[in-house]
Structure 1
Amino acid sequence: GADIGSTPLSGFRDRSRAFVQVQQGCDQACTFCVIHTARGPSRSFNYHEILNQVAKLISTGFREIVICGVDLGAYGLDLPGGTTTETGQGLVHLLEGIGTVAGDFRVRLSSIDPVHVSNGLLQLMKNDPRMCPYLHVSMQSGNSLILKRMKRRYDATYLYECLSAAREKIPDLVLGADVMVGFPTESIDQFADTLAAIRDLEIAFPHVFTYSPRPGTPAAKIPKQIPNIERRRRSAVLRAAGREILDRSLKSWTGRRSVVLLERAVGKGDLGHNARLANYMPVRIDPQGKAPGRFLDAVVTGVDNGGLIAEAVRRE
């Protein structure tokens, strides 16, 4: 088979969105995670091969490219020259390169560690209209002591500063986050810090993981494990908070004009969402005969079922 160290991988969704993996493995050793031992050190795929893969996907009709990696922001660290953009190895430079590919498409980042949300990345997201104004960070917790016990690379203060700067810089930014609840020793007050962070930072799409011990990880050996029923309760609280934030964000879009990407075909009576804004908000719209994988100019007319309702409009 192909050498995983040099070949970007892609997966597809109704020929509208393609996933391009640019990096594999992880050099971090978070105390709850087995990836470091299971998948080995961080390995970046070849810059030019990634660009060729993106160009190929665009030429076959894909309109959204999702850039993925196990530790996405580490792209280029293991390549000659490290992460300096002068040698063309960092994630920002890779995204700049993808921006030179011809075609009508947009670029979305998959989950990224907050330590890799650099000023350079935010500047690129602000200046390049192809970059989706959506940031999904692997936040995990809003409490500094729990983050330290997880062996994360940042504390709560950094998290607030980083995501506040992102909001300030990028208009209409929507935030998502991976969040873990019930980590061993997590007290009610420490959990409350995570809930506060979700609300304060307006995380509209929290991807909530309920901690479960992984054999062989340091966290599994901590004596003070949180009972299952309490872990599940905390998960439900965070998910409900995310829904409230999403609902508020959705309402703020009523009456606004934007471009949606059609993601799937809808049958008669299908009231599900069939498109998304660049900021990841789900949309229900009459596709006007257009197939999935096409862009449509739209005006938002309302909110329904955790998403937006929109109508197609003519491009002025």
Structure 2
Amino acid sequence: MTVEAITLGCRLNFAESEALKARAKDNSIIINSCAVTAEAVRQTRQAIRRARRERPDARIVATGCAVQLEPDAFRAMPEVDEVLLKDFDRPAIAAGFRQRVRSFVAVQTGCDHRCTFCTIWQARGPSRSLPFEAIRDAVARELEDGAAEVVLTGVDITSYGGGLGPLCEKLLAALPNLQRLRLSSLDSIEIDETLFALIAGEPRLMPHFHLSLQAGDDLILKRMKRRHSRAQSVALVERIKTARPDATIGADLIAGFPTETEDAALNSLRLLDDCDIIAAHVFPFSPRPNTPAARMPQLEREIIKARAARLREAAAKRRSVWLNSLVGSTQPVLIENGEKGHTDAFAPVFIAGSKRGDTGPATITGLKDDILVGVFA
């Protein structure tokens, strides 16, 4: 019988699901949950119910952040056979997507920060980093299994013990066949000098950097208990782009945080231009249980939805301009699946006739439905 994993949320969850599948009993369905928003929790419950309808004889195992925060609520669901909770004394699981061209390898889990909107530190505990040897061996296995690109992931990878930069430096030195190393979301205030040096001079480090910015207004950042200012965000991006002119920037942004005024919301909107963000993940604020932000004066849901929509619309326009600017250029590309892949700077590309794992420079001939069209040069 098969073991299936249904994974919601972050890339760390996907990496962990692979390890959980290897340990699961036959005929199991693992639902790896997310708690970042109320909508994510709703989707988790929906996924559990759908799994039971589709495979009534399967053993349903619920795990992940939402389950960690509300274990009794998930135990009470008649569809759930087992609730699997994390042991905070055990390190994260260094595992990747098997048989994938791009593989995600976990290097740490947990978080030592206390952003006022977030419950993930409660769900995952304090930051714990894997030993270098475990990470190196996990990356080596992924490369042996056919991965052409490895993405380091975790809850807060810039808090990696000893520094994320030194970890990347050691990995690249130990594994010459690691030709494409990419990083998941970065806490901008924690980027170390070794990582800056790699950004500037290491071509095997892919030039797309996704930053956990969250807002572009200093008062809102303070109420979020973030540790950076708006000016620091702008200065960081300027430094990255000076060091690596081909670098592109993605960012997480929250719309409608409690007490956010229209002027504060406009500051976040202007951050798209000021930080040259071409890949924005916009989250409408969702109050999470037992967080300081849930006790702050809340905005009306319609205002939150409108501000999120405005941010997304502006971000989509910026992204479209960026993608159009690449037409006529030559870009390094990795094909991942179904003739589709990404450039090094993480622009989506379609190349007719290509196959999984193809890589090399491609001439960009057009743009269709926000996906570049190209041919290998």
TM-score by length of 1: 0.88
The answer for the alignment partner of 1:9 in structure 2 is: 95
How much has 1:119 moved relative to structure 2? 3.7
* DSSP 3-state at the match of 1:38: helix
Q: Structure 1 residue 117: deviation in Å?
A: 2.7
Cα distance in structure 2, aligned partners of 1:230 and 1:105? 46
- 2:198 alignment partner, one of 104, 124, 135: 124
Higher helix share: 2
Task: Choose from 111, 117, 136 the match for 1:26.
Answer: 111
Aligned counterparts, 1:254-273, within 5 A: 254-266=327-339
Partner in structure 1 of residue 167 of structure 2: 94
Q: Give, as a single letter, the amino acid of the residue that structure 2 aligns with 1:280.
A: F
Q: 1:94-135 CA distances to partner (integer Å, 9 max, x unpaired)?
A: 101221213263111100111023343122022111111000
Identity percentage of aligned residues: 37
Q: What residue is the counterpart of 1:242 in the other structure?
A: 315
Cα separation, partners in 2 of 1:104 and 1:300, compared to 1, 3 Å? farther
2:306 corresponds to: 233
Q: CA deviation at 1:307?
A: 2.3
| Structure 2 Cα separation of the partners of residues 103 and 120 of structure 1 | 21
1:74-95 deviation per Cα after TM superposition (whole angstroms, max 9, x unaligned): 001xxxxxxxxxxxx3211110
Measure how far apart 1:65 and its partner are: 0.5
Q: Give 2:39's aligned residue.
A: none
The partner residue of 1:279 within 328, 345, 352 is 345
Q: How does 1:1-316 map to 2 (within 5 A)?
A: 4-5=90-91, 7-12=93-98, 15-76=100-161, 89-100=162-173, 101-103=175-177, 105-222=179-296, 224-266=297-339, 274-288=340-354, 290=355, 292-313=356-377
Q: State how far apart, in whole Å, the 2-side matches of 1:61 and 1:252 are.
A: 32
Amino acid at match of 1:296: G
Extract unaligned runs of 5+ from structure 1.
Answer: 77-88, 267-273
For 1:228 and 1:276, the matched residues in 2 are separated by 36
Q: 1:275 to 1:287 in 2, by over 3 A?
A: farther
The 1:114/1:104 distance shift into structure 2, 3 A limit, reads closer
Q: Which amino acid aligns with 1:199?
A: D
Alpha-carbon displacement from aligned partner over 1:1-41 (angstroms, at most 9, x marks no partner): 798416413235x6111000101000000100111222111
Equivalenced residues, count? 290
SS in 1 for 2:333: strand
Change (3 A) 1:164 1:30: same
8 Å CA contact 2:92, 2:106 repeated in 1: no
1:188-234 per-position Cα deviation (integer Å, ceiling 9, x unaligned): 00000000011221111100011111111011011x20111111111
Moved over 3 A (4+): 1-4
Provide the alpha-carbon RMSD of the alignment. Answer: 1.7
Give the distance between the partners of 1:189 and 1:310, measured in 2 at CA. Answer: 42
In structure 2, the residue corresponding to 1:10 is in which secondary structure?
A: coil
Provide, for residues 258-299 of structure 1, a one-character-per-residue CA deviation record: whole Å limited to 9, x for no partner.
Answer: 221111125xxxxxxx110011100111244x3x12313311
Q: CA offset at residue 243 of structure 1?
A: 1.2
